Structures are given as C-alpha cells and as structure tokens.
Amino acid sequence: MNYPNKIKKEYHKNINYANRGMDLESIINEANEYYLEHDLALIYKKPTPIGVVKVSYENNRQIINKAYFATQSTLDYNGLYKGKYIEFDAKNTESKTSFPLNNVHLHQIKHIRNVIKHGGIVFLIIKINAQFYLLNGPDFIYFIDNNKRKSIPYEYIKEYGYNLEYNYNKGLNYLSIVDLIGGFENNGKK
Amino acid sequence: MNYPNKIKKEYHKNINYANRGMDLESIINEANEYYLEHDLALIYKKPTPIGVVKVSYENNRQIINKAYFATQSTLDYNGLYKGKYIEFDAKNTESKTSFPLNNVHLHQIKHIRNVIKHGGIVFLIIKINAQFYLLNGPDFIYFIDNNKRKSIPYEYIKEYGYNLEYNYNKGLNYLSIVDLIGGFENNGKK
C-alpha cells in the first residue's frame, strides 16, 4: 500500500482506464474529476456510510476492527455547478426492458422530492442497454406518482430521459444536459 | 433496539438533551434535524471517509474487518437552502485567544476557495470561549491571504464573524445568519 506518490498516481490512472465501459461508478468519478480539474463544477461522491462496531488503537491511531456498510439516506453524489445545488445517483440495471424501482430506497425517493421542493437540481443517471440516460428528478417522481408499476419501462426512460454522450476517450458528459434541465422548474422536455 | 416509534423518539430526545452544550457536532446535527423536520433546509453531515483494508463475508453480507478513518477533502456538512448550495465545517478550539489554522487542512482551504468561485455559500462555525461564530468563507480566505499568522485572533473572529444564537432549549440557529450573508458575493459586514 505504500507506493511513492508518483507511481501511486500512474497506478490509479491505469485502473481507471482498464475499468472504462464497465463500472458506472468509475465512469462518473472520472467525469467529476474532469469537471473539477477543468474548473467546471465541484461534484463529489459522498463517502459510503458505515456502522462501526469495534475500534482499537495502534500508535494513538484509531483502527476500525469491525464495521458494516450502511445505506445512504440521500443520493451518492452532490455538489455545486454554476451556483446551483446538484444531487444525483448513478444506477445500473441488467434488465434490458426496464429500470426496477427497488434500486431506489424509499428514503431516497423522499429526499428527491425534498431537493426538488427546495429548488435543487436532482436526477438519476441510469445505465441500461449499454446506454447512459439522465432522468430528471421531476420526471422520476412523475412516474412514481402516476404508476403502480414496480419498474420504469425503457420506453419511458428513452422518452423522458436524456441520452448522455459517452465514448471511450472522452468519457461521460452529463453537465451539458444539466445545462438544459437546470433552467426549468420542471422538465424542459415534457 | 425495537422500541415502538413513539418511545424511540423520546429516547432520542433525552440523549440529545443530555449532550447539549458539550459536543459541537451534536449541536450542529440537532440544528440540521430541526431544519429538516421543519422543511427549512436540507443539510447533512457527510459520512466520515474510511480506507478499507480488509473485508470478509458473513451470510452474503460484507463485513469490514480492518479500516482506518481518513480525512474529508471537502467540508463536513453540505446541502441546500432556498435553492442555494451551502457547505460548512464545524470547528472547536480550546484556545481562548485564537483559532489555530492547523484545524483546517490545505485541501479544505483550496475547496473553500473553489466553492466561493463557483457561487456557493461556504463558512466555518467556530466554537471559541463557549461562543459560536459563523465566519464566512470570503472573510476566512481574506485573513489567510493577508496574514502570515498561524492562527486567527479571537478579535478578528468577533469583528468579522457573526455570533450565533444558542440556548439550551432552542439549540443553535445558523440559518438566520446564512440569510444575511447569502445575498452578498462578498461579506455583508465588511
């Protein structure tokens, strides 16, 4: 674990490239790093919350000896873009025909409603059929409030979501779509 | 742990009251819970980041067997208030005469500059001499950029910071000060 700084960096970089096209979280993190480095936006993944069960001390330093991963009560990513509050989650689905709603916890749905109410920009980035879609919060909530289905059909996502640019070299660009939806209280597409 | 809802709530309440006046983090968390319950703002403490060294599986569930606490590269609290992005950190100092700057990491100072540049509201809540002050980000950065000192004198905090209302029953109220500073690009006091 103790690589010198420079080698450590190269190592990380290689990992990122190797993961491209596979791991949604890595793709989003790379996009956020790009936005940060180019001073376009400040968007970070929140650390995964943990429940600590047991700690000990080594050389005056706390070591966690037992803990478990907990679920985030909000969404995983948030930050600041052009003075506005942004929050989103990235969701992967293996299904080719729909996005199962059990991917989103009830407290997260409540939180999405809250962010909309308080004037923030909130959305999901959904990877389905090897495509990336941005589904704006109000359109996500609209579906939930008007359907009894337990999954969002791919057709709805294609119609109301925004297909995001993605390629191997340039990575994922979602801010261009945030520019589109950011100026509207509700959805700009509907 | 399985109290009926009402008793559970009382129980929490008692714990909170017991902690009052002692632990800065509990005081801030209580204020945020109050704001959330009264639908005034959505402000959360980010989970503490950890570095996971070893995991195992018990009944298909991941258990962390070794990990250490890492430092946040941003500030501890962020969220949304009246459509605006807010971020802050809560800092306690035992010194009665100054706030030592080694309480704030270099990457956090860089982040504070970034949030200001991108149009967010960013500040520190400093507990010093049993008083709570909100020091607005631009005033914090102004001090750093114009002084070689390694701590901010209490006089500076009193002059440029905002003394926050706090009492045992009502808790801490910092949003009233955010209302004051939120409308200004720079400080409203200077």
State percent of chain B over pLDDT 70.
Answer: 84
The whole model's pTM is what?
A: 0.84
Does the pLDDT of residue A1 top 70, yes or no?
Answer: no
Average pLDDT over residues A44-54: 92
Please state the three-class secondary structure of chain B as a single string.
CCCCHHHHHHHHHHHHHHHCCCCHHHHHHHHHHHHHHCCCCEEEECCCCEEEEEEEEECCEEEEEEEEECCCCCCCEEEEECCEEEEEEEEECCCCCEEEHHHCCHHHHHHHHHHHHCCCEEEEEEEECCEEEEEEHHHHHHHHHHCCCCEEEHHHHHHHCEECEEECCCEEECHHHHHHHHCCCCCCCC
Does the pLDDT of residue B172 top 90, yes or no?
Answer: yes
Task: Check B65 against A63: CB less than 8 A apart.
Answer: no
Is B54 within a domain?
no
Q: By C-alpha distance, which of B26, B161, B190 is closest to B99?
A: B161
Total number of residues shown for chain B: 190
Q: What is the structure's pLDDT at A168?
A: 81
Does the pLDDT of residue A160 top 70, yes or no?
Answer: yes
Q: What is the structure's pLDDT at A2?
A: 37
Residue A105 burial (10 A CB sphere; 0-12, 13-18, 19+): middle
Using an 8 Å CB-CB cutoff, list residues of chain B that contact chain A: 39, 41-42, 44, 46-50, 53, 61-69, 72-74, 78-85, 87, 111, 114-115, 117-120
- Least reliable range by pLDDT among A20-29, A133-142, B101-110, B174-183: A20-29
- Least reliable range by pLDDT among A31-35, A55-59, A180-184, B172-176: A180-184
Q: Which residues of B touch A32 (CB under 8 A)?
A: none
Bridge partners of A162, per DSSP, are: A134
Task: Check B62 against A82: CB less than 8 A apart.
Answer: no
Angle ∠(B53,A78,A25) on CA atoms, nearest 5: 50
Q: What is the structure's pLDDT at A5?
A: 38
Between CA B106 and CA A36 the distance in angstroms is 17
Is B165 within a domain?
yes
Task: Check B119 against A83: CB less than 8 A apart.
Answer: yes
Using an 8 Å CB-CB cutoff, list residues of chain A that contact chain B: 1, 39, 41-42, 44, 46-50, 61-69, 72-74, 78-85, 87, 111, 114-115, 117-120
Task: Check A46 against B50: CB less than 8 A apart.
Answer: no
Between CA A141 and CA B131 the distance in angstroms is 43
Residue A128 or residue B9, greater confidence: A128
The ipTM, to two decimals, is 0.82
Residues 6+ apart with CB under 8 A from B184: none
By Cβ distance, the residue of A65, A83, A111 closest to B118 is A83
Q: For residue A9, give how far its alpha carbon lies from the nearest alpha carbon of chain B (Å).
A: 17
Task: Check A46 against B41: CB less than 8 A apart.
Answer: no
Q: What is the structure's pLDDT at A183?
A: 67
CA atoms within 13 A on the CB side of B12: 12
pLDDT tens for each residue of B73-115: 899 999 999 999 999 999 999 999 999 999 999 999 999 999 9
Task: Check A118 against B81: CB less than 8 A apart.
Answer: yes
Query: Beta strand B121-128 with B131-136: parallel, antiparallel or unpaired?
Result: antiparallel
Query: Beta strand B61-69 with A61-69: parallel, antiparallel or unpaired?
Result: antiparallel
How far is CA B68 from its chain centroid?
22
How many C-beta atoms lie closer than 10 Å to residue B149's C-beta?
Answer: 13
Q: For residue A81, give how far its alpha carbon lies from the nearest alpha carbon of chain B (Å).
A: 7
By Cβ distance, the residue of A44, A64, A85 closest to B85 is A85
Q: Which residue of A has its CA nearest to B68?
A: A63
Q: Which domain holds residue B111?
A: 5-47+73-182
Q: Which residues of B touch A48 (CB under 8 A)?
A: 47
* CATH code at position B166: 3.40.1350.10
Does the pLDDT of residue A169 top 90, yes or no?
Answer: no
Does the pLDDT of residue A189 top 90, yes or no?
Answer: no
Does the pLDDT of residue A109 top 50, yes or no?
Answer: yes
Does the pLDDT of residue B129 top 90, yes or no?
Answer: yes
Does the pLDDT of residue A83 top 90, yes or no?
Answer: yes
Residue labelled with tokens 């501890």: B76
Say if residues B161 and B134 touch (Cβ distance below 8 Å). Answer: yes
Say if residues B96 and B128 touch (Cβ distance below 8 Å). Answer: yes
Does the pLDDT of residue B3 top 70, yes or no?
Answer: no
Is A189 within a domain?
no
Task: Check B120 against A49: CB less than 8 A apart.
Answer: no
Is B29 within a domain?
yes
Task: Check B82 against A119: CB less than 8 A apart.
Answer: yes
Is B64 within a domain?
no
pLDDT tens for each residue of B147-164: 999 999 999 999 999 999
Structure token pair of residue A106: 């009830």
Q: Which residues of A touch B48 (CB under 8 A)?
A: 47
Q: What is the structure's pLDDT at B12?
A: 39
Summary mean pLDDT of chain B: 86
Rg, Å, chain A Cα set: 18
Does the pLDDT of residue A21 top 90, yes or no?
Answer: no
- Least reliable range by pLDDT among A37-41, A133-137, A172-176, B169-173: B169-173
Is A187 within a domain?
no
Does the pLDDT of residue A26 top 50, yes or no?
Answer: yes
Q: Which residues of B touch A81 (CB under 8 A)?
A: 118
Tell me how far CA of residue B64 lies from CA of A59, B51, B57, B107, in angstroms: 21, 10, 9, 28
Between CA A109 and CA A117 the distance in angstroms is 13
Total structural domains within chain B: 1
By Cβ distance, the residue of B64, B83, B111 closest to A118 is B83
Say if residues B104 and B91 touch (Cβ distance below 8 Å). Answer: yes
Phi, psi of A173 (to 5 degrees): -120, 110
Is A43 within a domain?
yes
CA atoms within 13 A on the CB side of B147: 13
Is B157 within a domain?
yes
How many C-beta atoms lie closer than 10 Å to residue B126's C-beta?
Answer: 24
Does the pLDDT of residue A116 top 80, yes or no?
Answer: yes
Angle ∠(A65,A70,A75) on CA atoms, nearest 5: 140
